[in-house]
Amino acid sequence: MHSILILNGPNLNLLGTRQPEVYGRETLAMIQEKCVNHAADRGVSVEFMQSNHEGVLLDAIHSAKETHSGIILNAGAYTHTSIALMDALYSVEIPSIEVHLSNIHAREEFRQVSYISRAVLGQICGFGSHGYILAIDALLAHFDT
């Protein structure tokens, strides 16, 4: 049975109230419930976590190598700044997908840069919370190839 680690970075704990015109009105707990249910319907387990601390996210990626088949990462603002997260993804060699609720390519210029994208299978952005569901399905399709 496959297991997927879904990691969420800084400020995502504020979803539902933080700039709902950009990020939507769903809370992170609501997104987690959707992901867990969607994955369970496909016979996959999910570990879902959020941290505002880069080191915690790094430790989770490092630990994933022993327990998870894939990673879905919404690194939030760390997407645009963290070479460390990129290096961690390269290091663990686990199929990974980058997710963003908003279309980062249609936003401010600094948000259009992603260090994470170099180390993942692909990037899903601009579909709100449905991007997580798309990422689960994309990982499952990757596992089947």
Give 23's contacts (C-beta < 8 A, 6+ positions apart): 15, 101, 102, 128
Residue 85 has pLDDT above 80, yes or no: yes
Q: Which amino acid is at 55?
A: G
Annotated binding-site residue numbers for substrate: 74, 80, 87, 101-102, 111
DSSP assignments along 12-74, one per residue = GGGTTTS-HHHH-S--HHHHHHHHHHHHHHTT-EEEEEE-S-HHHHHHHHHHHHHH-SEEEEE
Query: What mean pLDDT is predicted for residues 110-131?
Result: 94
Sequence spans of domains, the chain: 3-143
Write down the pLDDT at residue 45. Answer: 97
pTM, rounded to two decimals? 0.94
CATH 3.40.50.9100 applies to domain 3-143 = yes
Annotated binding-site residue numbers: 74, 80, 87, 101-102, 111
Mean pLDDT is lowest, of 2-6, 14-18, 68-72, for: 14-18
62 is annotated as an active-site residue: no
100 is annotated as an active-site residue: yes
Residue 52 has pLDDT above 90, yes or no: yes
Residue 81 confidence class, pLDDT cut points 50, 70, 90: very high
Give the dihedral of Cα atoms 74, 80, 84, 88; nearest 10 deg: 40
**Given 23, 78, 115, 132, the catalytic residue:** 23
CB 38 within 8 A of CB 48: no
